[in-house]
Amino acid sequence: MLMRKKEVSILLVDDDDDILFSAKIILKKYFTKIITTNNPKTIINHLNTQTIDVAVLDMNYRIGFEDGKEGLYWLKQIKDISPETTVILMTAFGSVNLAVDAIKKGATDFILKPWTSEKLYTIVNAGVELSRSKRKNKQLETIQNQENKDFHKQTKHIIGNSQAMNVALSLMQKVAPTDATILVLGENGTGKYVFAKEIHLQSSRKNNPFIHVDLGALNENLFESELFGYAKGAFTDAKKDTLGRFELAKGGTIFLDEIGNLPLHLQSKLLTVIQNLKITRLGEAIERPIDTRIICATNANIHKMVENQEFRQDLLYRINTIEIPLPALRERDNDVILLASHFLNTLTSKYSKSISSITKGAINALKAYHWPGNIRELEHVIERAVIISENTELDIEDLHFSAPKFNQTKAISLNIEDTEKLLIQNALSKYQGNISKAAKALGLTRAALYRRLEKYKL
């Protein structure tokens, strides 16, 4: 069975064509692209026209000069142009001092001529893995920076002026500059991720990674390898040492979403990490310190879970130095209209539609609906409406959301106004905000229903 070659580019630079030929014959068995040159002046052109994963570089090119200065010069050129390229220096004249100097200036390794086939392959292969790791980290950093820029462009990514929302925002602004562990509580769709990201961006860690981990979607068998990383050979597919999410979040923030879904036996492992601020990669016995802020979130009643012994109390103490409860959309007064208008502006631009406003009827329907999916559901409703509407404003007919199930056994206040308000809300929900149908069901005229909507601020 033939070994599958690694899809990488190796640049061999030496003034001896025989050395280049021998090295190419050995390495082309394992790697897809081997480039050779006997002139170091061509190095820059190679770096500028293609991705070079590993450069194997001779240290001496002029007859009679064996001080390695040329090798060190070209080492610097390579590192300046392509920092992710792994550089391995090669010479027939071994010198400990020269080797140390080369390593200090950015070389990864140092190989002496004559080398064996096994030695050359081993060193180059290690260089390939290092280069891949650097490029992956660079890619993650680029993605993270772009996400931060995109997030900042949304100048109103936290919208609302209701009292409940202002309380949450005030608390966030107080704790964001600290390194306190934070637990964000709220129903699905209330904006827990947005709050966690905003806390990160308002902290001193904002220029470092923000790593989001959805514990609810994480396979139990992958918990340790994903969060703590693993060593080469730790399991069948562990081909190389791999960083976990905690290490990827170095200097930044790790957001552990849906922590209430974490089974008890995994909660103890997470507790140990948070207490000691150290992780141990799967397959290793080395403890590695971590430097990351921890923000957690859940839609579960986590305090009730502690009472039921479904969540560890000691872990709760560790993750909720500060709790930020996010209100449901139905508890946020008129914020639903502010959010709907924001989504309308964003989505009309996205889909190139000319929809400038929302009719009063549609506004009343949006305010009357109970929003079980909260902000996420509201965005979905507005997006669908923008796509299907053929008018210049959104009307009730454009809105399609699930009518809530009315609980007939729900306790109703004996206060007449409270009862009337509840009946109106349920009628509007049942008929998806259609004023005419709701009014007919309630035995009212449209004008009478509008007066009551104004009275109850619905």
The ranges assigned to domains in the chain are 6-134, 162-325, 331-455
Q: Using one digit for the tens of pLDDT, what is the confidence trace for 206-261?
A: 989 999 999 988 888 889 999 999 888 888 777 777 888 999 898 999 999 999 99
pLDDT, residue 147, reads 55
Report the CATH fold assignment for 6-134: Rossmann fold (3.40.50)
pLDDT, residue 141, reads 62
Q: Using one digit for the tens of pLDDT, what is the confidence trace for 329-375?
A: 999 978 999 999 999 999 999 999 999 999 988 898 898 888 888 99
| Percent over 90 (pLDDT), the chain | 46
What order of strands is seen across the sheet that includes strand 31-37? 31-37, 6-13, 54-58, 86-91, 109-112
Query: What single-letter DSSP state applies at residue 324?
Result: E
Q: Using one digit for the tens of pLDDT, what is the confidence trace for 364-421?
A: 889 888 888 899 999 999 999 999 998 999 988 888 765 444 344 344 455 677 777 7
The reply to whether 162-325 shares the fold of 6-134 is yes
Looking at 8-17, 350-359, 441-450, which range is the least confident one? 441-450
Split at pLDDT 50, 70, 90, the class of 94 is low
Report the CATH fold assignment for 162-325: Rossmann fold (3.40.50)
The per-residue pLDDT of the chain, averaged, comes to 85
pTM > 0.75: no
| Percent over 70 (pLDDT), the chain | 88
**264 or 449: whose pLDDT is higher?**
264
Structure tokens, 457:
């601020």
- pLDDT over threshold 70, residue 298: yes
Q: What is the CATH number of domain 331-455?
A: 1.10.8.60
Task: Measure the CA–CA gap between 188 and 260, rounded to whole angstroms.
Answer: 13
Cis peptide before 372 (omega within 30 of 0): no
Task: Measure the CA–CA gap between 26 and 122, rounded to whole angstroms.
Answer: 11
Split at pLDDT 50, 70, 90, the class of 173 is very high
Split at pLDDT 50, 70, 90, the class of 313 is very high
Helix (H) or strand (E) holding 167: helix 163-175
pLDDT, residue 71, reads 82
Task: Measure the CA–CA gap between 321 and 144, rounded to whole angstroms.
Answer: 27
Task: Measure the CA–CA gap between 53 and 129, rounded to whole angstroms.
Answer: 9
Distances (CA, A) of 118 to 1, 14, 124: 20, 19, 10
pLDDT, residue 153, reads 44
pLDDT, residue 402, reads 53
- pLDDT over threshold 60, residue 155: no
